[in-house]
Amino acid sequence: MSKTFSTGIDPLSIALPSGIPYGSLTLLLGPGGVGKSVMLANLSWNFLREPKNAVVYVAFDDSPDALLALYNYFGWDVSRYVSEGRFKIIDCFSFRLGPFKKAVSGVVRELEVKDLNSLVYAVSDASSPTRGSTMVLIDSLNELILKFEVSQFLDFIKSFRAVVGKGLGNIVIATIHTTTETFQEIVNYLEYLVDGVIEARINPSLMEYGVPVKELLVRKMRGVPTNPVWVPYVISDKGVAAVDPQKLAAVLQERLKEAEKLKKLLSGSED
């Protein structure tokens, strides 16, 4: 079996008991509000706690200072890893800010991606050489999907997986916000090109009762065993955590009672 990284996140450990393989590219999919960015930060924090490991974070969706604020919110102080050169940010956001741009520790490169090869080179340069292992995070791929032709984007994914994942032996995880049919169509093309697909959602059945339970499903992960079931999780003050089944059952019972009361009231008003 491939060398793997044990995620240290209980819901993911249930779905991926052997962890995420090195030399792989995994997509983390889902709509807004399911905590994809928190999951990336949580994974990278656990990864950095291993001696000599490094993280390269490609930030498209937010500024570097907002990214560091996310880590700080959960008590994940990466300043030590920044000073050691083990936490690096490739800033693909701040070129838009003009005079409002801030200097942020940890940014090793600011990049406006006009040529997809430039991103492959930038990440390769930032993640090699290293004495330990490197996790590369991209949050998110949506901007590239909108900016480039489908064929160009798919070629980029092939090259990125080959060079940054396979060639350098990194763990690569990239998010896609599946908010429209356009993005979902791209995902359908991508699934056979990547090594892993993790999907996150809010349980649609429970949402009908006003219970927004988040769930994740590992749809594929080459080289390691998976448990292909929807695993519930919550975003707590400590990051991504397992759902307490007793608390969930109690909430569901209460919401079902409320639903029954509402049903009776509506039936009475119709009479």
* DSSP for residue 22: T
- What are the two backbone dihedrals, phi and then psi, of residue 179, each rounded to the nearest 5 degrees? -90, -15
Q: In what order do the strands lie in the sheet with 87-91?
A: 107-110, 87-91, 54-59, 134-139, 171-177, 24-30, 196-202, 214-221, 231-236, 239-242
Among 32, 33, 30, 1, residue whose Cα is nearest residue 17: 1
Contacts of 171 (CB under 8 A, 6+ apart): 5, 20, 21, 22, 23, 24, 26, 47, 133, 134, 135, 136, 165
Handedness of CA 117, 121, 127, 129 (dihedral sign): positive
116, 153 contact by CB (below 8 A): yes
pLDDT tens digits for range 74-83: 999 999 999 9
pLDDT tens digits for range 42-92: 999 999 999 899 999 999 999 999 999 999 999 999 999 999 999 999 999
pTM recorded for the entire structure = 0.90
Instruction: Please say whether the structural domain 4-243 has been given the CATH code 2.30.130.10.
Output: no
Cα dihedral: 68, 6, 4, 73 (round 10): 0
Q: What is the pLDDT along the chain (271 residues), one digit of tens a residue?
A: 579 999 999 999 999 999 999 999 999 999 999 999 999 999 999 999 998 999 999 999 999 999 999 999 999 999 999 999 999 999 999 999 988 888 899 999 999 999 999 999 999 999 876 677 999 999 999 999 999 999 999 999 999 999 999 999 999 999 999 987 778 888 888 999 999 999 999 988 777 767 788 999 999 999 999 999 999 999 999 999 988 777 777 777 776 776 677 667 777 665 5
